[in-house]
Each structure stands twice: as C-alpha cells, then as structure tokens.
Amino acid sequence: MIGLISATAAGAAARDRLAAAWPDRTRVYDGPVGDAVRRAFAECEQLVCFLATGAVVRLIAPLLGDKASDPGVVCVDEGGRFAVSLVGGHGGGANELAREAGELLGAEPVVTTATDAVGVPGLDTLGLPVEGAVAAVSRALLDGEPVALHNESDWPLPALPVASAGAYGIRVTDRLVELSEREVVLRPPTLAVGVGASKGAPAEEVLELIETSVREAGLSTRSIAELATVDAKAEEPGIVAAAGRLGVPLVTHSAEELAAVEVPNPSDAPLAAVGTPSVAEAAALVGGGELLVPKRKSAATPAMATCAVVRRPARGRLAVVGLGPGARDLLTPRARAELQRASVLVGLDQYVDQIRDLLRPGTRVLESGLGAEEERARTAVKEARKGQAVALIGSGDAGVYAMASPALAEASDDIDVIGVPGVTAALAAAAILGAPLGHDHVSISLSDLHTPWEVIERRVRAAAEADIVVTFYNPRSRGRDWQLPKALAILAEHREPTTPVGVVRNASRPDESGRLTTLAALDPATVDMMTVVTVGNTATRDIAGRMVTPRGYRWQTSEEGSK
Ligand code: SAH
C-alpha cells in the first residue's frame, strides 16, 4: 500500500490524482501532517508526501530503522514539478515510485542513488538477497575500483563491471561464508527443501527442522528456492506456514511422481499413509540435483516432521523480449527490466540500435543482419546453455513472426525461458486506425519466402469466407509486389468495394503514417515492408474518419454487450 499525505490545497489536488489513478494501491492519510506521516510510515510499504523534503526529513528521521525494511518515501513539491526519491530508493522502491508518480503527475523524477545514475545495477536490485558490505562494494563498483566476482553457484547474473581479482568482492553462493569488510554475498535460490509432516505438525517444529538442517549443512536459508511435498500435504497448516515464513513457494507433487524418484532412505510409513515410500527426499530430488541433507527428523518426540535438502544446478536464462512497434514508451517496463537483467543480448542490428542506450554497461551484444534468424536463435540458446542470462529481442511481440519460435525449437529443457510480450504491429496500427479489431481477426503474413503461396492463399480465402478482419504483415517488398493485390482480390470476392482498409506505416516511429481507404481504392504502391494493412469485415465502418468493427450484431441488447 502507498500512503498519501498532503498539507495544502495544491498538494491535495495532486494527491487525489494519484489516488484516482491507483485506487487499489493507495490510501489517503488525513489529519495533522505529523500524525499522518507517522501512521503511514508504520502501515505502508511506500509513502508519497506532497510536502517539502525538509518537512518530511524532520518527520521521518526518528522513524528510520533499516533500509531493508523501511518504507520507500517520495516527496512531491507544491508546484508538482519534482518527484524526489527521498529514502528507500532501491529496497523501498522509491526510485521506481518517483518515476511512476512523476509520469502520472508530469513531475520530473529526482533520483540520487549513485548506482542508478551511471547504469550500474544496485546490488540490492539484482533480484537476489544480498548480505555484507553493500555500501562499500557499490561505491567501489561506481568508482571503477576492481571488484572481483566469485560466482560459485554459476548463477546467471546481469552485466556487472567486475574483474577477476580485486580488493573488493562479490560472492554468489548458497554456503555460509565469512565475509570481509569489502565483500558482499548474493544468495541464489538453489536449494529445494523436501518436507513431510504428520497431520497437525506445528509450524514451529517444521520451520525449526528446516532451519537447523540447512544451517548445519553450512547453507543459508536465504538460498531456499522452494519447499516441496506431496499433493496430500498441500494444505497441511504447519508446512504452509513454514513456507510463508520463509517467503518461498510451496510446490506439491503427486504420490506417483514421488514414488518414481530414486531415494537413499525409502520407508514404509509414508507408503501406507500417502502412497509413496519417500516424501521429503523424493520431493526435494524430483527436479534433479545433489542431495546435501538426507532425510532428517525433527527433534520433538514424537517427531512430526521430516525434511531433506537438495542443491539444484543453476540454469541459464533465456528471455525472449518483444520491444514493441518502435516508440520507447510502448516498450513495457518488464521488457526494459529484462534487457537490464541480461548479460548477453542477441538480436537484429536495427532492433539492437532501438534499445542500446538501455543496456547495462558491459552487456555483451551479439547482433547480426537481416536473414540470420536461425543463427541468432541458435546463438541465443547456446549462450543460455552456457549458463548466461540472455535476452533475445524482436520488434513488436517476439513471438509473432519473430524469434521466439526458432529459439524455442532449438531450446532444451535445461534452461529457463521467460517470455515478455510486446505490443504488436497489428495492435499499434489498430490503435492508430480506430477500433478495427473489435471482433474476430487474424494476422496473415504475405511473405512467401518460407511459406508456399498456395498455403497463404488458402488462409486468405478462409478468412474471406469466414468474414474475419485481416491484418497483412510483410505485405509488399520490391521483389514481392503481386501478392497483396492478389490477396485483396480474394477478400473482394466476399466484401463490398467500400469495405474500409487501414494502411499504417511505421506505427509509433517518428515518420508514422496512417490512412483509411477502401478495398476498391487502395493503391498497393503506397504499401511497403514497414507497413501493415488491415482489411475490415462486412460490418466494419468508417465512422468520423475512424475504422470501427462492431463487437457483434446484437451488441446493443445482448448481456455480453453491456459488460
Ligand atoms: N514481431 C513483429 C512482426 C515482425 S514481421 C510484431 O509483433 O509486430 C515484420 C513486419 O511487421 C513488417 O514487414 C511490417 O509488416 C510489420 N511491422 C513491424 N513493425 C511495424 C510498424 N512499426 N509499423 C507498421 N508495420 C510494422
């Protein structure tokens, strides 16, 4: 929850704009400002104060504890010109909040945490728990002092400006280690803890067993990735509560699946009770890995819980990232985060140019020219299999006539694949044209380089007969000029010559153009490879210069239409 506090009428107006924009995320704190700030500080994860920074500093100073747990605080000035990330820039999310709130209010975000300023990822923003001398090591990274990386877990990290040796160090390990005053340790989620429990096993007993087992094996509980058990125990309160307290997911498997896992210590009791000779060991080992702690019982008498700990090997990471149609503000925040999460970027050179400024310094860029799709896909998968964090990019959505399919056709199940959707050319064009996709629609690529023309023609004909709105991708190039007229002719057999047709070139790019014409009037010479062509169905209309396909013929009366 974000607490909102204001003192003046101007502040209250800005506050209300945020509250209206984020009704589920915000809570307004009224009353005397000092009280309001104190209550919000205690109750919220974040605060936006429409007050001077000085006033806020005085109010929160006595409340500040630890940057890992304090709320992030943003101040917006009376004039609504600046959104200042005051405290909790990284851990409290204040930098991000300043950007978001700034965007909404038209205020300039003011971010002063050093790591953000020069594009070095904050050590506490890498998505892994971090311990040790965070401030000292961050400063060393910023100052360009050599910082050595010891990635014992081979965890796929983003690009970091590190050296092979140095006075400062970053260690990536699940082991308990002695740190010097110049070292941090990042905790990768490598440990799977299998848990078994009798009915009614207390949460304390389960938790204590897990924590001692992990610690006595010389491991950090902060590297626990998940608790795992058998389906029958999915709701066992002690296990559910232990997962909750550790802040990790509880994953369950069927008894058959667990019975098939080979374990060192099977026994008859669970076989009789839940149908598998092992719960803890099997559940921990089901995803593969090395058994570090064999089955162990809790200390209580009678012992009501068992656990086993497995270390899973790190997996490379392949993010398939859609960049959207071109404009920076149509690149999603998730896509941006994935670009910065990568240490290797693979893509077509012209798409790489589109986002090069967003990459972390040190990101290895593997770019290639048009036509090298298969090779790009292979390269991306190969790098991920080496254990790297790879981003494979494509324009629009990377799964639409783009890199996702060739890459996933190559990929084996030993890497993690993360898909990040993007705004496709068809959607970007539709938004420019009006609402042409209000009812059923398809995309058809007219490129017959990899697809025989007969197949394309059959699909165009099917769409024509089924009265479906069609968006043509790759509609026309210098060497391919007869396909578009042919496709339009097929549609014209089933649609009036006056059927609206939208032609959008370079959607969301600086030289964007969008035109509304008709099936009879479209001049194919105005269409090229930077264009998509959207042909309406028999219900599509030109209304006030906008292309509109009604949602349905009964939309005014049907229940569905009233949603
Ligand atoms: N993955 C992309 C499509 C790649 S195929 C997506 O999801 O949109 C390439 C074709 O997409 C181009 O020939 C053109 O028809 C279309 N296209 C891509 N970007 C476009 C844009 N900004 N404006 C209009 N058409 C575009």
Domains defined along the chain, listed by start? 2-112 (3.40.50.11220), 123-186 (no CATH), 191-311 (3.30.420.180), 317-423 (3.40.1010.10), 426-548 (3.30.950.10)
For residue 351, count other CB atoms closer than 10 A to its CB. 20
- Residue 562 confidence (pLDDT): 45
474 lines ligand 1 (CB under 6 A): yes
Output the residue whose Cα is nearest ligand 1's atom 2: 396
Determine the distance separating the centroid of ligand 1 and the alpha carbon of 442, expressed in angstroms: 14
330 pocket-lining for ligand 1 (C-beta < 6 Å): no
Nearest C-alpha to atom 6 of ligand 1 is from which residue? 396
> Residue 377 C-alpha to ligand 1 middle, in angstroms?
19
Paired tokens of 228 = 């795992």
Can you tell me the distance from the alpha carbon of 2 to that of 93, in angstroms, rounded to the nearest whole number?
11
- The span from the CA of 282 to the CA of 400, in Å, is 40
Nearest atom in ligand 1 to the alpha carbon of residue 425 is 8
How far is residue 71 from each of residues 37, 48, 310, 333, 478, measured CA to CA in Å?
A: 11, 10, 35, 22, 58
Protein residue with its CA nearest to atom 13 in ligand 1: 474
Ligand 1 close to Cβ of residue 387 (< 6 A): no
Residue type, 525: A
Among the atoms of ligand 1, which is closest to the Cα of residue 397? 7
pLDDT of residue 387: 93
Give Cα separations from 79 to 12, 34, 75, 255 (angstroms): 12, 21, 12, 63
Ligand 1 neighbourhood includes 432 CB (under 6 angstroms): no
Spacing, Cα 319 to ligand 1 middle (Å): 20
Q: What is the pLDDT of residue 433?
A: 98
Residue 228: its pLDDT value, please?
98
Distance in Å, CA 320 to ligand 1 centroid: 17
Beta-carbon contacts of residue 481 (< 8 Å; ≥ 6 apart)? 524
Identify the H or E element spanning 37.
helix 33-43
Task: Tell me what pLDDT residue 115 has.
Answer: 66
pLDDT at 254: 97
What pLDDT is attached to residue 73?
Answer: 97
pLDDT at residue number 553: 61
Atom 20 of ligand 1, nearest CA residue:
425
Q: Which of 350, 473, 474, 480 to mutate to test the pocket of ligand 1 (most atoms within 8 A of CB)?
A: 473
DSSP state of 342: -
b/e per residue 390-406 (b: at least 16 CB within 10 A): bbbbbbbbbbbbbbbeb
Helix (H) or strand (E) holding 257: helix 255-259
Among 176, 136, 126, 127, CA closest to 152:
176
Q: What is the pLDDT along the chain (563 residues), one digit of tens a residue?
A: 999 999 999 899 999 999 999 999 999 999 999 999 999 999 999 999 999 999 999 999 999 998 878 999 999 998 889 999 999 988 788 988 998 899 899 999 998 887 665 666 678 778 899 999 998 898 888 777 889 999 999 999 998 888 888 899 999 999 999 999 999 999 999 999 999 999 999 999 999 999 999 999 999 999 999 999 999 999 999 999 999 999 999 999 999 999 999 999 999 988 988 999 999 999 999 999 999 999 999 998 999 999 999 999 999 999 999 999 999 999 999 999 999 999 999 999 999 999 999 998 889 999 988 878 889 999 999 999 999 999 999 999 999 999 999 999 999 999 999 999 999 999 999 999 999 999 999 999 999 888 999 999 999 999 999 999 999 999 999 899 999 999 999 999 999 999 999 999 999 999 999 999 999 999 999 999 999 999 999 999 999 999 999 997 665 444 444 44
